[in-house]
Structure 1
Amino acid sequence: MTRPLSVQLYTVRDQLTADREGTLRRLAAIGYGAVEPYDVLTDPEGLRRIVDELGLTVSATHAVQLLGPRPEAVLDAIGTLGTDLAIVPAGIEPGEFTTRDGLARAAERLNSLVPLAERHGIRVGYHNHWWETEPRFGERHAIEVFAELLDPTVFLEVDTYWAAVGGAEAPGLLRRLGDRVLALHLKDGPGTRQDPNVAVGGGAMPVPEILAAAPDAWRVVEFDACAGSTDTLFDALAASRTYLTSLEAA
């Protein structure tokens, strides 16, 4: 894997609000080479300027706003940030993933974005939580059926922790989804919905097997929550990078 390790900026959302440039500098100093923004409509020009100054890459963006009334403005902002990967991380009711009709409606919402995104040179993706994994259709998780209903150009960013919380064996799921997976969210912890995350490599997730199952996907570290202070969070981000870098070097 030759791409730089990325971090989802939702991880440091509070710190970004307090000091955006200082937070990004701290991530770069830890050794992260890429970031994945989540708030694309708030000053994309300014964010791009800081990212470029720090030598960071924008691996992709989360853009729930694509499901809103002004997707073209969202795509313009994504283009400003300098990536061609736009990921829908929410905005579809969890109940849609419990029936085949619901899956078809959810897929159509994403598929309808493809022509407009393509005109902007951008590819649409989807990011899962547990509710796309927990429902089963025979032997398959809902996300597997969902993937088959998506336009072939729509990719997946698999949040491996939430997939496991939803009952999936993450490496096997990744192998079955195959080249639809362009990015991984890597997080760790006890495998429960409510407990905070810990540094990648310090919890229950089979991280080496996950990486081996999707060797060409972007690696994106994320914490939904991390117990402790800001320094604890950055320490956990540093430990995650050290661990993942050691695996890549092995």
Structure 2
Amino acid sequence: MEKLGLQLFTIRDFLKTPEDVKNSFSKLIELGYTEGQTATSDWYGMGAEKFRDICRETGLSICGTHYSFDRIYDATDEVMKEHEIVGTTNIGIGGMPGLSEMTLESVKVFVEKFNEVARKIHKHGFKLTYHNHHWEFAKHSGVRIMDYLADNLDKDATSFVLDTHWVQAGGGDVIDWMKKLAGRIDILHLKDYKIENGERAFAEIYEGNINFDGVLKTAEEIGVKHYVVEEDTCPGDPFDSIRISADNLKARGYLK
């Protein structure tokens, strides 16, 4: 693993102002993180150019985004320009719109729109990425939605941001899904899974129950390009949690 990234949603409470962003990115570099994946459609309130300048100043590069699908679809040219400024070709969404009303028919409509815009941006060197949760492992009209996405999203113009925790939360086998999507996972979300007080909970890498030795071995075999830690909810200071994740990866020889 030459680089380690962080899904910036993990430290969202520390990205309120440009100064916050600068200080937080400097901390990430100190902890061994050199890449970030954003979770914003306005570049944390400062616009793409100012955000890019802070990234350059601190040394953090952006490997992808979670962005508004409506804006990607409705303002495609502007969105491509913003991503070009920031320096990433991975334009992504954090999940399917309308999950609470999901039906197989609504998923089919979504996939058509997703592929339409994905093919448009692919002509300009971009790729549209889809991040899963556990909802996609539900069956609607006898069809598992994750299977439908895997079978019907354009294999050339799209890619998956596969999330290890959410695959397991959905009852899927993480390594099997990685193999099934081989060559289609440019960004892998490293997120552990534990049971706490009888409930599902997020955990630092190697502090939960996911077989990360197997995950990381498989990731290398299938050509994952970006390894991105994410912890949606941390038990305390998120910088303590992401330090633990980085230290555990270093201790096992996966990260220098």
Cα gap change, 1:97/1:210 in structure 2, threshold over 3 Å: closer, same or farther?
Answer: farther
Q: CA deviation at 1:211?
A: 1.5
Cα gap change, 1:173/1:64 in structure 2, threshold over 3 Å: closer, same or farther?
Answer: same
Indicate yes or no: 2:175 matched with 1:167.
no
- Alignment deviations for residues 62-106 of structure 1 (CA, whole Å, 9 cap, x no partner): 11244553232222111111011111212422267652x343222
Query: In the aligned structure 1, how far is the partner of 2:195 from the partner of 2:101?
Result: 24
Cα gap change, 1:141/1:172 in structure 2, threshold over 3 Å: closer, same or farther?
Answer: farther
The answer to whether the Cα contact below 8 Å between 1:132 and 1:142 also exists between their aligned partners in 2 is yes
| More off after superposition, 24-33 vs 65-74 | 65-74
What residue in structure 1 maps to residue 151 of structure 2?
148
What residue in structure 2 maps to residue 227 of structure 1?
235
Cα gap change, 1:105/1:62 in structure 2, threshold over 3 Å: closer, same or farther?
Answer: same
The answer to whether the Cα contact below 8 Å between 1:171 and 1:209 also exists between their aligned partners in 2 is yes
Query: In the aligned structure 2, how far is the partner of 1:160 from the partner of 1:154?
Result: 19
The answer to whether the Cα contact below 8 Å between 2:72 and 2:79 also exists between their aligned partners in 1 is no
The one-letter amino acid of 2:151's match is E
**TM-score (norm: length of structure 2):** 0.85
Indicate yes or no: 2:74 matched with 1:75.
no
In structure 2, stretches of 5+ residues that fail to align are none
Which of the pair is proportionally richer in strand?
2
Query: In the aligned structure 2, how far is the partner of 1:125 from the partner of 1:98?
Result: 21
| More off after superposition, 41-50 vs 86-95 | 86-95
What residue in structure 1 maps to residue 6 of structure 2?
7
The answer to whether the Cα contact below 8 Å between 1:97 and 1:132 also exists between their aligned partners in 2 is no
Cα gap change, 1:211/1:96 in structure 2, threshold over 3 Å: closer, same or farther?
Answer: farther
What residue in structure 1 maps to residue 33 of structure 2?
32
Q: CA deviation at 1:161?
A: 0.4
Query: In the aligned structure 2, how far is the partner of 1:98 from the partner of 1:90?
Result: 15
The answer to whether the Cα contact below 8 Å between 1:186 and 1:220 also exists between their aligned partners in 2 is yes
Q: Secondary structure at the match of 1:37?
A: strand
Count of equivalent residues: 244
**TM-score (norm: length of structure 1):** 0.87
Query: How is 1:151-230 mapped onto 2 (pairs within 5 angstroms)?
Result: 151-152=154-155, 153-190=157-194, 196-215=201-220, 216-217=223-224, 218-228=226-236, 230=237
Cα gap change, 1:17/1:151 in structure 2, threshold over 3 Å: closer, same or farther?
Answer: same
Cα gap change, 1:108/1:172 in structure 2, threshold over 3 Å: closer, same or farther?
Answer: same
Cα gap change, 1:208/1:96 in structure 2, threshold over 3 Å: closer, same or farther?
Answer: farther
The answer to whether the Cα contact below 8 Å between 1:60 and 1:84 also exists between their aligned partners in 2 is yes
Identity among equivalent positions (%) equals 26
The answer to whether the Cα contact below 8 Å between 1:196 and 1:224 also exists between their aligned partners in 2 is no
What residue in structure 2 maps to residue 248 of structure 1?
254
The answer to whether the Cα contact below 8 Å between 2:161 and 2:189 also exists between their aligned partners in 1 is yes
The one-letter amino acid of 2:186's match is L
- Alignment deviations for residues 132-157 of structure 1 (CA, whole Å, 9 cap, x no partner): 1233887x842132121111221111
Q: CA deviation at 1:128?
A: 0.5
Q: CA deviation at 1:17?
A: 0.9
Query: In the aligned structure 2, how far is the partner of 1:156 from the partner of 1:212?
Result: 18
Indicate yes or no: 2:133 matched with 1:125.
no
Query: In the aligned structure 2, how far is the partner of 1:188 from the partner of 1:83?
Result: 26
Cα gap change, 1:91/1:249 in structure 2, threshold over 3 Å: closer, same or farther?
Answer: closer
What residue in structure 1 maps to residue 244 of structure 2?
239
The answer to whether the Cα contact below 8 Å between 1:64 and 1:90 also exists between their aligned partners in 2 is no
The answer to whether the Cα contact below 8 Å between 2:38 and 2:65 also exists between their aligned partners in 1 is yes
